[in-house]
A and B are shown apart, each in its own frame.
Chain A
Amino acid sequence: MSNTPAAPKAGQPNSLHMIATLGGVSFLSGFLIFFAVQATEAGIKQNKLEQLRGAVFEVLPGAASSQAFAVEDKGFRPVEVDDSTPGMKKVYAGYDESGKLVGVAIEAAAQGYSDVIRGIYGYDPAAKRVTGFMVLQSSETPGLGDRIGNDPEFLANFFSSDTSKDTISLELNADGGSLAHNVEFAKNGEKSDPWQVEGISGATISSKAVVRMLNNSAQEAVPLIQAHLDQLQKGTS
C-alpha cells in the first residue's frame, strides 16, 4: 500500500492486537444483539398473534368471537390462542353474537413460486363451503404472484359477499372420509364446477399453490370437523 519502505518492526502487523480487536468487537456485537432480541421478542410474538387473530375474523365473516382448538386424533381440544406446543395443529372456531358456530378457520401451507406460502381459510360446516381466504406469509413476485393475496377477482373464489358467484364447495363423499371432489384449478374464465378455483392469468404457479394448499388441508381437516362438530360448539369445553 505505502510507497515508502516500512520500518521493519513498526510496520509488522501485531496478530494479538488484531485478534483482540475483532474479538472485542464481536463480543460487543453479540451482547447488543442479545439485548435487541430480548427487548423485541414479546412484541413480535404479539404482532404475529394479532395478525392471526385479525385473519381469523377476516376469513370467517359474521364471527364475533373465536376459540382455538388443537387438532388431535380423537377430535378437537380447546387451547389458548398463543399456545405454541411444537407440532400442534390448530384450528380456530368462530362464533356469532349469539354464540352459534359460523365457521372454522384453518391454517395451511404450500410451496409457491419462490418460497412456502402460508395462508388461512375459513370453512362453514353448515353450508359446506369456503368462507374466505387470506395469505399470512408469502414471498411471491410483487405484482404477479402476490396477487393471490389482493386480486379481487381471485379472492371472489373464497368470499361470497361481494359477488354473485358461489364460493368453493367442500362437500364430503358418502362415507365422510374425504372430499367428494378434489379442489381443482381452473384457468381464468373456465370455471365449470363449484369445487374449482379460478386462477389468475399471469400468476398460475401461485394460484395453483393456493389450490394445493386448500386441497391438502381440506382433505384432512374437513372430515374431522364434520365428524366432531359437537366439540367445536361453544361451551363444550
Chain B
Amino acid sequence: MAQGNPATTMDEFMKGLWRENPVFVMLIGMCPTMAVSNTVINSLAMGACAIFVLVMSSAVVSLIRKLVPKEVRIATFIVVIATLVTIVDYVMQYISLPLYQALGVFIPLIVVNCIILARAEVFASRNNVWLSSVDALGMGVGFTFALLCLGTVREIIGKGAILGIPLFGPNFEPWSVMVLPPGGFFTLGSWLLFFNWLRERRARKLKKAE
C-alpha cells in the first residue's frame, strides 16, 4: 500500500475541514452539534472525543475491510465504533469528572453520530489505512471547527463569557436562549448563511476571471 502522494493526502485532509465540512456543507451530525456547542469547552471536549473515535474507527474499519463480508459490514462497524466510544466514556470519567458530567449523555451518543458511520462506510471501507486515517482526521477537525464556531458565538452571547471568563462586566444580561437549543439553530443558520455567501462570492469571482 502506497502512502499516497502528499498532494492527495493534503487534499483528503482539507476536504473534511472545508470543502466537505460535515456540519457546514454536508449537514450531518446535527444532534451532537446542536446539543453540546453551547460553550467553548464543551465543543472542544466533544470535538476531541469525536476525532479520537473517528480516526480509530476509520483505521480499524480500513484494516479489516477485506475480512468483513459485506452483508454484516454495518453491524461490524457499529460494534467497532461502540467499543471505542465505551472506552472514551470511561477514560473521560477518569480524566475529568466535571467535564464528563457536563457532556453527560452525549458521549454514548457518539456511537450514532452519522459522521463516524458515514466515514466508515463511504471512505474507510474502500481505502487504505493511511488515507482513511487522514480522511477521518480531516472530518474530525472539520467537525471540531464547526462546533467551535457555534460554541464561541453561543457562549459569548448566551453567557457573556468565553471559556468561563466573563467578558462584559456585571451589567451584561446574558441572552440565555443562545445556550438553549433554539440558540443552536439561530447560530447554525447564521453560520450557514455566512459560509454560503463566502462560497458564492468565490464562485462569482472565478466566473469573472474566466
Contact = CB atoms under 8 A, between A and B. Distances in A.
Nearest to A43: B94
Judged by DSSP, the binding face of B is helix
Contact of A142 (B38, B67, B71, B105): B38
Given A51-B97, A139-B105, A25 B91 contact: no
Contact of A37 (B72, B90, B97): B90
B76 A22 contact: yes
A188 interface: no
Interface string B164-179: 0000000000001001
B124 to A, nearest CB: 15
Nearest to A35: B87
A26 B38 contact: no
B38 to A, nearest CB: 6
Contacts of A142: 38, 179-180
Interface in A49-101: 51
Interface string B96-127: 11100100110000000000000000000000
Most chain-B Cβ atoms within 10 A of its Cβ — which of A39, A40, A48, A51?
Answer: A40
Contact of A47 (B67, B72, B86, B94): B94
A37 to B, nearest CB: 6
Nearest to B154: A143
B80 interface: yes
B137 to A, nearest CB: 22
Chain A: number of interface residues, binned into ranges: 20 to 34
Interface stretch (A13-21, A125-133, A153-161, A228-236): A13-21
B85 to A, nearest CB: 10
Interface in A120-166: 137, 139, 141-144
Judged by DSSP, the binding face of A is helix
Contacts of A116: none
Given A18-B69, A25-B79, A33-B83, A143 B90 contact: no
A144 B96 CA distance: 24
A25 B80 contact: yes
A227 interface: no
A96 B67 CA distance: 66
B97 A47 contact: yes
B166 to A, nearest CB: 12
A36 B38 CA distance: 29
A144 B90 contact: no
Interface string B51-87: 0000000000000100111011001100110110011
A222 to B, nearest CB: 29
Nearest to A141: B180
A29 B80 contact: yes
B158 interface: yes
A142 B159 CA distance: 11
A44 B90 contact: yes
Contacts of A33: 83, 86-87
Given A47-B94, A48-B97, A22 B87 contact: no
B93 interface: yes
A106 B4 CA distance: 62
Contacts of A141: 180
B91 A21 contact: no
Interface string B24-66: 0000000000000010000000000000000000000000100
A64 B43 CA distance: 37
Nearest to B101: A137
A144 B69 contact: no
B90 A29 contact: no
Contacts of A202: 176
A144 B97 contact: no
A47 B96 CA distance: 8
List the 3 closest A-B pairs by CB distance, nearest first: A143-B179, A29-B83, A40-B94
24 contacts: A13-B69, A18-B72, A21-B67, A21-B68, A22-B72, A22-B75, A22-B76, A22-B79, A25-B80, A28-B83, A29-B79, A29-B83, A32-B87, A33-B87, A36-B86, A36-B90, A37-B90, A39-B90, A48-B97, A137-B101, A141-B180, A143-B158, A143-B159, A202-B176
